[in-house]
Every structure is written in structure tokens, then in C-alpha cells.
Amino acid sequence: MSALPLSTAEVPRRAAAALERLRAGRPRVHAVMNTVAQKLVADGLSALGAIPSMTVSQDEIAGFVARADALAVNLGTLDAARRAAVSLALDAAAARGLPWALDPAHCDYSPPRAAFARELLARRPAVLRANAAEHDLLAVPDGVVSVRTGEIDRIALAGAALIVENGHPWTAAVTGTGCLSGAAVAAFLAVEPEPFAAAASAMLAIGVAAGLAAPHARGPGSFEPALLDALAGLRPDDLLRHARVRHEQS
């Protein structure tokens, strides 16, 4: 059993401190985001304290990334223009040493998208966020933190993994919450230089918010606004009190 980059006891404390910096610093996050989830992701980033932008215009994206503090690349509704925009965004991010997170949404449905995801992994995102089916298709390079979301969330690096057991089943029923996870990782990367801690903080923030939101909802429809309310109202202290994290026993 490999050692985690930070102990399970440290995770909530790091997450709470990062959330505090996020609220105070209001980092800009540029998200190349599929058209389905754009609104939810923008609202979710705003609720966390970040300032989202989402253009994929090839004339403009380098300028937006140059003004951003982190980049999220989501491959949903990928087309030729969006693919070109991703490359331009990554060049602009690399030029400034900007951290970025990759979300290869639905790459299990589409061999060309999976191939593109592999190319992008070779450009070394700080964090990969994917579901189990997407993960199974991709080989995560050494040193890239991998987040596998699902009933429980698993944040892994170099053979060690942290499990976050917060969250709520309704989350999976709302389109775009996975995409929001990926973008939230980018928001935390803007305020937490250590990618494993940033990824764990993002998953904990969304998971705890989901748990706090559920009692205010009647189903997945009302869960979505309740989740945004909970993200906006989330206090660092909530992370300390409600975190359910453990070291994966392998």
C-alpha cells in the first residue's frame, strides 16, 4: 500500500483552506465546456467563488486563457472547431505555466475522441477527471493525478488512492455534474499548487455540498438548484465537519 501525498486527516484541512482562498481570490477559470453543461458549470464555478469564461472562438481563446488562473478542458460535444480551440488553449496555458484539468467526457462512445484524449494526456494535465468507463480506456501517465467519479470518488497518484464517500445519488441524475467536477478541479488548481490536494478538495467540496443539498430537494430536478445553493453557501468548516475520506485499501 503506497503512501498518499497527504494523510486522510490533512485532506479536509487542506480543502477548507483552499476553499477559503478560492472565495477570497476569485480566480478566473477558462473552461472549454460541452454545450450541454455550460450553464450548470458556469453557475457551479461562480458558486464556488471562481469567475468562469467559456469561449471556444479560435480568434479569442488564447486571450481568454492568458487572463485565466486555470484551465478546464472537457471533450463533450467535440467538433473540429472545439478541437482546434483546445490546442490553442493548451498552448496559451503552457506558455504561462497555467495548471489544467482534462475531462474526456463520453470518450468511451467515440474512438476518435478517445484518441484525442490520449494525445491530450501526453500533454500532461495536472489532473484527469473521468468516470469508470472513460478511465478504463485511458492510460494515466506517471505524475498525473487521476480522479474517478462515481458512487464514491477516487483520487489516485502513483499507486496510492484516496476515497471520498461524500456525495449523493441524485448527483449522477443531473446532466453536467461530472463536467462540473472537472471544472471545479481546475478552480482548486488555481489556489492550491499541489494537484492531489486540489483534486481532493474539489471532490470533497462537491460531495459535501451534495449531501447538504439533498434534504432541500424532491428529486434530481430540484436537486440541481439546491446543489448550487449549497456550493454558494459552503463554509470551510462544513468540509471539516462532514468529510468522509479514507485511504483505499489495495
> Where on the chain is the footprint of a second copy (CB under 8 A)?
35-40, 42-43, 46-47, 52-60, 63-64, 67, 76-81, 106, 109-113, 173-176, 216-222, 224-233
Which residue's CB is nearer to a second copy, number 111 or number 143?
111
Shortest Cβ 68–a second copy spacing (Å): 9
Shortest Cβ 62–a second copy spacing (Å): 9
3-class DSSP state of 30: strand
Shortest Cβ 42–a second copy spacing (Å): 4
Shortest Cβ 8–a second copy spacing (Å): 30
Task: Spell 104-130 as b/e; 16+ CB within 10 A means b.
Answer: bbbbbeeeebbebbeebbebebbbbbb
Which residue's CB is nearer to a second copy, number 28 or number 148?
28
Shortest Cβ 243–a second copy spacing (Å): 21
Which residue's CB is nearer to a second copy, number 80 or number 122?
80
* Sequence-ordered list of residues with C-beta below 8 angstroms from that of 121, at least 6 positions apart, any chain: 102, 128, 138, 139, 140, 141, 144
Which residue's CB is nearer to a second copy, number 4 or number 47?
47
Which residue's CB is nearer to a second copy, number 106 or number 168?
106
Which residue's CB is nearer to a second copy, number 7 or number 222?
222
Report long-range pairs for 20-24 (Cβ below 8 Å, ≥24 apart). Answer: 20/236, 21/191, 21/192, 22/48, 22/49, 22/50, 22/187, 22/188, 22/190, 22/191, 23/49, 24/49
CA 210 to chain CA centroid, Å, is: 15
Shortest Cβ 188–a second copy spacing (Å): 19
From 132, 183, 173, 176, select the one nearest 156 (Cα to Cα).
132
